[in-house]
Amino acid sequence: MVELTQEEWLEQLQNDDNAVILDVRTDEELEEGYIPNAIHIDIYKGQGFIDEVEKLDKSKNYFVYCRSGKRSAQACLLMNQHGFDNTNNLIGGFMEWEGETTEG
């Protein structure tokens, strides 16, 4: 897992043709808006989260975020344990995100 500032996250995301954005917040938090093109899998689903993540392509580079950066860090670590080599955590999460968003 790599911890990235907002600027680093956005810059690397824009220059990565193999990138996938993963939102691990709850459905309620999703209503506040989300980063465009994000896949949503709620980390609070426990085993359900792992089951959904296992369906994802492990060769992709994952840019993961939550509300503040804590759950997404946990998600990155879980993904690493399940064979994902390239996970990037957004420091500060959606709370501090100043980039483009889509209405929830």
So which residues are the catalytic ones?
Answer: 66
Q: Is 10 helix (H, G, I), strand (E, B) or coil?
A: helix
- Give DSSP secondary structure letters for 62-100: EEEE-SSSHHHHHHHHHHHHTT---EEEETTTGGG--S-
